[in-house]
Structure 1
Amino acid sequence: MFEIVDIKNIHDISEYDDFRVSLKATFFTIVTNIKIDITTGDLIIPHEVDYCYKLMFEDRSIAIKAYNINTILAEKIETVLARNVSNTRARDFYDIYVLMTLHENDIDRQGLCAAVWEKAADRNSVAFIQNYQKHIADINNSPEVARIWIAYCAKYSYAQGIKLGDILSIIEKVLTIE
């Protein structure tokens, strides 16, 4: 059984309404919290992907249209560069590292590079991508970003051993492809 706990607007300034729905899922004595982001009108490069999820306790599936991996990575890379040294979202760094590492052989790197540029154009942040080497160096040399990353790694054991510099190198490789 699902219970809606909260619905929040997740973008203060946006042409479209995007929401985060917080749910409490209960199955007998098991209770877990789930968050689902619902977006409309967002640029998905090159297009959405159809995912089919087979339900565990019923003999049926649910079809969901979702972001493809290039769009997810493009958004995260654009966010890291555009927020630069004021970025407090360590999770974006982690997500870039994990997605690029786990899906290394599945990612069309030229397509990803193009998606980053297209996402930046959509968000009016092309200047950050044009000067990515400077922004990567700024992030790499920022004591505040380093502190945030170290705190994230200390809090989440799955991030331990991942170096911020390695993540920034991944971003640089993505954008060097052109």
Structure 2
Amino acid sequence: MRSSRQVKDLIKNMSKQRGIHAQLLLRNYMFERLLERIAHSDFNQHFVLKGGVLAASIIGVDLRSTMDMDATIQGYPVNQGAIEKAFLDIVSISLEDGVILSLEKVEPIRDEADYNGFRLSILAQLDQVRLPLKVDLTTGDKITPKEIEYQYQLLLEDRKIEVLAYPIETVLAEKLETMITRGTTNTRLRDFYDIYALLETKKAGFNNDLLQKAFLSTANHRGSEGLLKDGETILNEVFQSDYMEQLWTRYQQQYPYAIDINWKAIENAVLQLWKMSIQ
């Protein structure tokens, strides 16, 4: 067990060495503390990690920040009472890490009409430091071929914890499908960055046949397969849009790790993924 002072010092040193804001590292650390409690709970076989926390783990915390945790729930009742009970049990697990987690609120997600789910507000405390965490839990996702056992590398320890997670092929497939369905109305610039960074990080680390199956399966599941014939046209419109390029510039200004990646490089990565996904 590390003392809270040791944790703060390690985060401070890592912040200086890597040029990452200490608050972002602290948030990542707190998400890890929650994730390890989930791994120690009876809920661990129902919780499938996806989203920003997974992307940051694959790409590297110095190359991807995240403000919330996302997961799909499988084989477990997705109702407010059941989710609340599960997470009250999870936050009560003691790991002797000095972190206290409190479940503050559970409310339905109303901004994602395609899926049922709940948003959890959790307060993480380390001595006098108090940090609010958001966790989005959804159901109904199509994972191709199925969830994987993922070795999650901890930030401050030479140790990994095993969690269920999305395969990288499904991660990429969902992001590409979202780009095609939303077109120039898409404001999720982190998806553009993630595709670029994941292709750079995992060039030989994913299965092309599985990627194609995941993309088609995702489109069929979401009812967007009719758009696929126009996919390349839609993507070209996205990358020819001055508005979308402006959004990318704003994203670069907000996240320094993206500052040297121009819009053309993003276009090349997305079109490369498109071609790999439809062959």
Q: State TM-score, norm by structure 1.
A: 0.84
1:64 aligns with 2:177: no
Contact 2:232–2:274 under 8 Å retained in 1: no
The one-letter code matched in structure 1 to 2:168 is I
- Partners of 2:214 and 2:140 lie apart in 1 by 16
- Aligned mate of 1:151, from 250, 270, 277: 250
The one-letter code matched in structure 1 to 2:167 is N
Within a 5 Å distance, the mapping from 1:43-122 to structure 2 comes to 43-51=142-150, 63-122=162-221
Q: Compare 98-107 and 33-42 and name the one that shifted more.
A: 33-42
Give the structure 1 partner of residue 273 of structure 2. 174
SS in 1 for 2:122: strand
How many positions carry a matched residue from both structures?
175
1:19 aligns with 2:114: no
Post-superposition shift, 1:109?
Answer: 2.3
Contact 1:23–1:35 under 8 Å retained in 2: yes
Give the structure 1 partner of residue 97 of structure 2. none
Contact 1:18–1:37 under 8 Å retained in 2: yes
Within a 5 Å distance, the mapping from 1:159-170 to structure 2 comes to 159-170=258-269
Contact 1:117–1:126 under 8 Å retained in 2: yes
Q: 1:10 to 1:75 in 2, by over 3 A?
A: farther
Q: 1:161 to 1:7 in 2, by over 3 A?
A: farther
- Partners of 1:151 and 1:119 lie apart in 2 by 29
SS in 2 for 1:115: helix
Deviation string for 1:107-132 (max 9, x for gaps)? 11232132112111111112332222
The one-letter code matched in structure 2 to 1:41 is G
- Partners of 2:207 and 2:104 lie apart in 1 by 39
> Please, what is the CA RMSD of the aligned residues?
2.6
SS in 2 for 1:21: strand
- Aligned mate of 1:39, from 138, 141, 149: 138
Q: 1:77 to 1:36 in 2, by over 3 A?
A: same
Q: 1:31 to 1:87 in 2, by over 3 A?
A: same
SS in 2 for 1:169: helix
Post-superposition shift, 1:11?
Answer: 4.7
Deviation string for 1:68-119 (max 9, x for gaps)? 2111111111101110011111111111111221112211123213211211
5+ unaligned residues in a row in structure 2: which ranges? 1-99
5+ unaligned residues in a row in structure 1: which ranges? none
Contact 1:90–1:152 under 8 Å retained in 2: yes
Q: Compare 101-110 and 85-94 and name the one that shifted more.
A: 101-110
Q: State TM-score, norm by structure 2.
A: 0.56
Q: 1:52 to 1:176 in 2, by over 3 A?
A: closer
- Aligned mate of 2:127, from 6, 24, 28: 28
Higher fraction of helix: 2
Larger Rg: 2
Q: Following TM superposition, where does structure 1 have runs of at least 4 consecutive aligned residues deviating by more than 3 angstroms?
A: 5-8, 29-33, 51-57, 61-64
Deviation string for 1:18-38 (max 9, x for gaps)? 223232211224433333232
Identity of aligned residues (%): 30
- Aligned mate of 1:125, from 207, 218, 224: 224
